């Protein structure tokens, strides 16, 4: 089986629980570290799937790797290679599919409930789940691109995820681990302070409260989502 390509845009936002999940199921993966100077692959068919991680930059920025990554996403669709996007990765997917990325009405940092949409596509991906507590850290949001279906939403962000065939784009984070949450809180202390007036932003102490049980529940949801996505990986 060809590996899943995991595209990392910044060192602090690696695959975390997603990599753990793949390894626990003996699914090979390879890291494409854009932040370390790696080139964006040209041929999606070299991989069984494409997973795009997050980053502090905007999907609208004039960075040299953004246009090639948008083309890689489109190549994945053309060649039937499933694409999975986390936060910035989901925003890049939305752009590649004809959607827009704009400033969010309310910045979100910390834990918040996400609701599963009441439609057949959402039911296919999430089964009995109707809501869960996800982790958030974003100041922008995406529109639902043409042909896609909104499958997750929340009070402060209507479009938390979309699906289009075997491809899935997330605004919220389901890949978090304790190490990652604590690192983001340390590195993002100033951003939390600047955004403290937002109703979608939590203080650090609130983010870290009951962290282990929160992550355990989040990983149960991630198991479901990653499992459904991996069923669609190219096996040839």
pLDDT score at 22: 98
Residue 16 maps to a domain: yes
Give residue 49's Cα distance to chain centre: 14
Say whether 142 sits in a helix, a strand or coil.
Answer: strand
List, in sequence order, every residue forming a beta bridge with 97; answer none if it has no partner. Answer: none
Mean pLDDT, the chain cut into blocks of 10 residues (236 residues total): 98 98 98 98 98 98 98 98 98 98 96 98 98 98 98 97 98 98 97 92 97 98 98 88
Kindly state whether residue 235 falls inside one of the protein's structural domains. no
Distances (CA, A) of 122 to 103, 119, 142, 200, 232: 25, 6, 18, 24, 16
- Output DSSP code: residue 82: -
CA–CA separation, 40 and 47 (whole Å): 13
Burial label for 37, CB within 10 Å (0-12, 13-18, 19+), is exposed
Which pLDDT belongs to residue 234?
Answer: 87
CATH number of the domain where residue 95 is located: 3.40.50.880
> What order of strands is seen across the sheet that includes strand 131-142?
29-33, 4-8, 49-52, 83-86, 167-170, 161-164, 149-153, 101-116, 131-142
Total structural domains within the chain: 1
Kindly report the backbone phi and psi dihedral angles of residue 84, in degrees, each rounded to the nearest multiple of 5, phi listed first.
-130, 125
Q: Which domain holds residue 203?
A: 4-230
Residue 236 lies in a domain: no
pLDDT at 202: 97
Asked whether residue 14 is assigned to any structural domain, the reply reads yes
pTM over 0.95: yes
Please report whether residue 21 resides in a domain.
yes
pLDDT value, residue 109: 98
Please give the pLDDT value at position 28: 98
Write down the pLDDT at residue 235.
84
Q: Is 227 helix (H, G, I), strand (E, B) or coil?
A: helix
CA distance 84 to 163: 9
Environment class of 98 (CB within 10 Å of its CB; exposed 0-12, middle 13-18, buried 19+): exposed
User: Do 22 and 50 meet the contact criterion of CB atoms below 8 Å apart?
Assistant: no
Could you tell me what percentage of the chain is helix, strand and coil, using 3-state DSSP and rounding each to the nearest 5? 35, 25, 40
């Amino acid at each position: 089986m060809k590996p899943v390509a995991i595209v990392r845009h910044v060192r602090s936002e690696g695959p975390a629980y997603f990599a753990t999940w793949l390894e626990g199921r003996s699914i090979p993966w390879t890291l494409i570290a854009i932040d370390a100077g790696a080139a964006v692959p040209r041929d999606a068919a070299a991989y069984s799937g494409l997973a795009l991680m997050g980053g502090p930059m905007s999907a609208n920025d004039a960075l040299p790797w953004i246009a090639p990554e948008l083309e890689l996403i489109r190549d994945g669709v053309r060649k039937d290679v499933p694409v999975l996007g986390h936060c910035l990765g989901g925003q890049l997917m939305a752009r590649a599919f004809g959607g827009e990325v704009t400033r969010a009405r309310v910045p979100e940092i910390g834990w918040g409930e996400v609701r599963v949409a009441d439609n057949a596509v959402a039911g296919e991906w999430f089964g009995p789940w109707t809501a869960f507590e996800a982790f958030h850290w974003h100041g922008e949001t995406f529109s639902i691109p043409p042909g896609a279906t909104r499958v997750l939403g929340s009070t402060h962000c209507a479009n938390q995820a979309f699906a289009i065939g075997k491809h899935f784009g997330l605004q919220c984070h389901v890949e978090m681990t304790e190490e990652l949450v604590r690192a983001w809180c340390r590195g993002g202390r100033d951003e939390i302070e600047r955004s403290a007036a937002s109703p979608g932003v939590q203080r650090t102490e609130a983010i870290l409260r009951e962290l282990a049980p929160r992550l355990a529940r989040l990983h149960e949801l991630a198991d479901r989502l990653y499992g459904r996505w991996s069923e669609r990986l190219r096996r040839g």
